[in-house]
Amino acid sequence: MNVIRHRTVSVNGLNMHLAEAGSGPLVLLLHGFPELWYSWRHQLPALAAAGYHAVAPDLRGHGRTDGPPEVEDYGMSDHVADAVALLDALGARTAVLVGHDWGANTVWAAAELHPERFTALAALSVPHRPRSPRPPIEMLRTFTGDRFNWMLHFQEPGTAEAEFSADVPRAVRLMLYGLSGDAGDLGVHLLTQLPRTTVLLNEIPEPPSPLPWLTAADLSYYSTEYERTGFTGGLNRYRNADRDWHHLPTLATRPLDQPALFLAGALDTAVRYGNLSAMRDLVPNLADPIVLRGAGHWIQQERPDEVNAALIKFLQAVS
C-alpha cells in the first residue's frame, strides 16, 4: 500500500509543505485555485504504485506552506523559482512536471524557462497559449465591457477575500461545483453572461445532490485549510497577470521541445472556447489532447481513474 507521507522542506526561502508517495523518477504535481495538494489525493498513490516518486506541494500562500506578504510575491517567476528550488531540495536533477489550473500555467512557463530541469510536461485544463499582444488584464477589460469576469473580479485586493471568507465552506463548495461537469452549462453562464456588478457566489446554486467526486470529508479538508489561511495567496496569483507580462517579455514566444500531454474536461470553458490544435505551434511534441466527455474543470478530482491512466501511460512512454 502506498501511503501518502507529509513533511516540510525549505524551498526558495519558504517553509513548503509536501505530500508525497512512492519512490523512483520524480513527478511534481502543482495545484490551482481554490485548491491544495489535496487536489492530487487520487494521483499520489496511483503514481507511486506505478513506480514513481510523486510529490504534491501546497504552493506558496496555500495550505501549510508559507505565504509571503506582498502581492508582488506571487508572480510567475516566483512560482517557477519555487518549482526549481523544490527539485534541489529533493536532490533531483530533473522531474516530470504536472499542473492543473494555475499550476498548468506554471508548467508551461517552467518548461520554457528551465528546459534542462523539466524533461516532460502534463497540463490539465489550461492549454498553452501564445503571448498576448497587450497585458492580459488590460485586454480583458476591453473585451468584457460591462460583463462580469472572474479574473477581473479577483484583481482588487480584499474584494473577493471578503466574499469568500464570509462563509468559507459555502464558497469552496459553490466554486468547485460551479465549474464542474455536474453543473453542465453553468460555467459558461458564470464566465460569459453576467453583468459586471454580479456578486459571484449568489449566481451559483447549491448542488442539487451530493457530488460523487467531492465527499463531505473532502470539502471539510479544503474548508478547514482556507478558514485558517484565507484566500489571499491564491487570489494574488491572478493579480500578477499584467506584471508577469511585463516581467517575462519572452515567455510563450518560442516552442517547447519536451514531450507533453494535455488533458481536459469537455465541459471546461477552456476547451469549449479554446483552440487545442493551435498548441502544436508552441508544443510540437504534444501528444493528442485527451478530452473527457462530461467532465468539467476539476478533472483530476472528477475523473481520477481516467486521469491516472493517462498520466501513467504518458510517464511510461517518456521514461
Dmax of the chain from CA atoms?
53
The percentage of the chain sitting over the pLDDT mark of 90, rounded to a whole number, equals 87
C-alpha cell at 71: 502581492
Confidence grade of residue 190 (pLDDT, cut at 50, 70, 90):
confident
Strands (E) across the chain are located at 5-11, 14-21, 26-30, 53-57, 95-100, 118-124, 260-265, 290-292
DSSP state of 25: S
Residue 255: count other Cβ atoms within 10 Å of its Cβ.
13
Given a cut of 60, whether residue 245 has pLDDT beyond it is yes
Confidence grade of residue 2 (pLDDT, cut at 50, 70, 90):
low
Residue 101 designated active-site = yes
Residue 31 designated active-site = no
Q: Which domain holds residue 198?
A: 5-318
Per-residue pLDDT, averaged over 245-254, amounts to: 96
Per DSSP, the three-state class of 8 is: strand
* Residue 14, strand partner residues: 11
Provide Rg for the chain, Cα atoms: 18
Residue among 314, 256, 311, 264 nearest 280 (CA): 256
Instruction: Please give the span between the terminal C-alpha atoms of the chain, in angstroms, as a whole number.
Output: 23
Given a cut of 80, whether residue 248 has pLDDT beyond it is yes
Amino acid identity for residue 267 in this structure? L
Amino acid identity for residue 113 in this structure? L
Given a cut of 80, whether residue 257 has pLDDT beyond it is yes
* Residue 147, strand partner residues: 195
Confidence grade of residue 1 (pLDDT, cut at 50, 70, 90):
very low
pTM higher than the cut 0.95: yes
Q: Residue 49 phi/psi, 5° resolution?
A: -65, -25
* pLDDT for 275: 77
* Residue 123, strand partner residues: 99, 262
DSSP state of 285: T
Of the given ranges (193-207, 218-232, 283-297), which has the lowest mean pLDDT?
193-207
Dihedral angle at the C-alpha atoms of 46, 32, 220, 61, nearest 10 degrees? 120
Give pLDDT tens digits for 278-302: 899 999 999 999 999 999 999 999 9
Which residue is catalytic, options 66, 82, 101, 182? 101
C-alpha cell at 1: 500500500
Give pLDDT tens digits for 120-157: 999 999 999 999 999 999 999 998 888 888 899 999 99
Number of domains into which the chain is organized:
1
CATH of the domain at 75: 3.40.50.1820
Amino acid identity for residue 207 in this structure? P
Give pLDDT tens digits for 95-115: 999 999 999 999 999 999 999
